[in-house]
Amino acid sequence: VTDLALVTEELQNRLRFERLVGDLSAEFAGLQAEKVDGAVRDWLARLGRFFGTDRAQPSNLGENRELHVSPSCAAPGVAEVATGTVLRAALPGATHTLLRGQVFSFSSIDELTDEAFAFDRKSFLEVGTKAHISLPIEVGGEVLGALTFGVLRGTHVWAPELVNRLR
């Protein structure tokens, strides 16, 4: 494969992503309040397919600065994460990272070697997560929640350019 072919493929991927974000923005801009929940689930599924992930889930910041899973979406044959699940209970290291406004991710569970993430690693192994990314949702510098994608079948490399565009 030539350098030109790689550059062309990267530009096509960027264009697809920008179109996806434009479509998402356009749909939510004129959406009636009673249709928001359904649209969120539809878009979670669409984003999950676009990124090649098995799970997509938002979470919101509740009392005691706890992240609670909102309705999630999963690929066929993959269980969704239960709505209301408190992330700190299963993922204390990841939650701490997100609440500091930082992205938490790994492309392989073997990357979680830091002792601060030992309990998280155990939790990810229990549910079969092989790759994961959680992005903080911030408004005015304050974390209000997170958007998470998980891969249970295979691996996934989270390209820095993609992570930056998602933020």
User: Which pTM does this prediction carry?
Assistant: 0.85
Tell me: the pLDDT tens digits for 40-54?
889 899 999 988 999
Residues with Cβ within 8 Å of 91's Cβ and at least 6 positions away in sequence, in order, are 119, 120, 123, 124
Tell me: the pLDDT tens digits for 108-124?
999 999 999 999 999 99
E strands, 9-101, are 55-61, 67-69, 73-74
Task: Give the Cα separation of 147 and 132 in Å (integer).
Answer: 11
